[in-house]
């Protein structure tokens, strides 16, 4: 239930669809990269916007199956290390979801839980590798 409460405590502007684009050149810049490290798009957001809502606003291929309720790992992104260190520590529920994320790295976060602040200007968010053979690669024989 903590997830629901957390949703309510954040500004409604950050809810999906409620994003207001800043005037060009005035916002906080975020660079999105694909899993191969290729630049996808640089976007600008406002303080308090979350990365998942920004990605949707700018048509970047980031899913949000549970709609920001921290119940899935589909909005997993990898943050540039120098910016990752500026973020508040993830809560238990976010860490629980990251446990199940594919292509997890030391600077992984759920996009829906990364809220922009001015000091994050210039941050990079890389979409994780989702290889087509993930089931095969990840498969370990089980003996239940």
Partner 1 sequence: MDKVAILGGGPSAFYVASRLLSRVPADRNRNLAVHMFDRLWSPHGLVRYGVAPDHPEVKNCTHKFDELAKDARFRYFGNVQVGPASGRPIPHVVRLPFDEIPRSYTHLVLAPGCPIPTTHPALPLSSRVIPALDLVHWYTQHPTHPHAPPLDGARHVTIIGQGNVALDVARMLLTSPDVLATYDVPLSVLEGLRTSAVEHVSIVGRRGPLQAAFTTKEARELMTISDASMALLDPVLLVPSADTKLSRQQTRVLDLLRKGSTTKSGTTKKTWSLDFFRAPTGIQESESRLRLSLAHTTLDAGLRAVATGATSALETDLVVTALGQQLDPSTPFYDDATRRIPVNASGNVLHPSGRPFKNVYASGWAAMGARGVLASTMINAYNVADNLAASLLGSDSLSPNFEEIMEKDVDPAPPALVREELEKGNVMSYEDWKIIDAEEVRKGAEMGKERERMGWEGAKAFLAASKTRA
- Contacts with partner 1, residue ranges (CB under 8 A): 3-4, 63, 65-67, 69-74, 76, 92-93, 95-102, 104, 130, 132-136, 138-139, 142-144
Choose between 28 and 127: whose C-beta lies nearer to partner 1.
127
* H helical segments located in 20-64: 51-57
**Between 67 and 82, CB nearer to partner 1:** 67
Contact 11, 48 (CB under 8 A): yes
Provide the minimum distance between the beta carbon of 132 and partner 1 in the complex, in angstroms, as a whole number.
5
| Shortest separation between residue 18's beta carbon and partner 1, angstroms | 16
Largest CA distance in the chain: 58
Residue 65 or 86 having the CB closest to partner 1: 65
Task: Output the smallest distance, CB 114 to partner 1, in A.
Answer: 17
β-pair partners for 47: none
> How far is CA 34 from each of CA 23, 29, 38, 101, rounded to the nearest angstrom?
26, 17, 5, 16
Instruction: State the nearest-atom distance from the C-beta of 119 to partner 1, in Å.
Output: 27
How far is CA 13 from its chain centroid? 17
């Amino acid at each position: 239930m903590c997830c629901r409460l957390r949703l309510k405590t954040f500004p409604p502007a950050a809810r999906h669809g409620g994003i207001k684009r800043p005037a060009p050149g005035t916002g906080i810049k975020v660079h999105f990269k694909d899993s191969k490290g290729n630049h996808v798009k640089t976007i600008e957001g406002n303080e308090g916007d979350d990365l998942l809502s920004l990605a949707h606003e700018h048509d970047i291929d980031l899913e949000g199956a549970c709609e920001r309720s921290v119940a899935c790992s589909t909005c997993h992104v990898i943050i540039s290390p120098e910016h990752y260190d500026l973020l508040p520590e993830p809560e238990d529920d976010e860490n629980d979801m990251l446990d199940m994320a594919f292509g997890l790295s030391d600077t992984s976060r759920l996009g829906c839980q990364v809220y922009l602040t001015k000091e994050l200007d210039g941050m990079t968010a890389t979409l994780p590798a989702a290889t087509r053979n993930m089931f095969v690669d990840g498969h370990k024989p089980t003996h239940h």
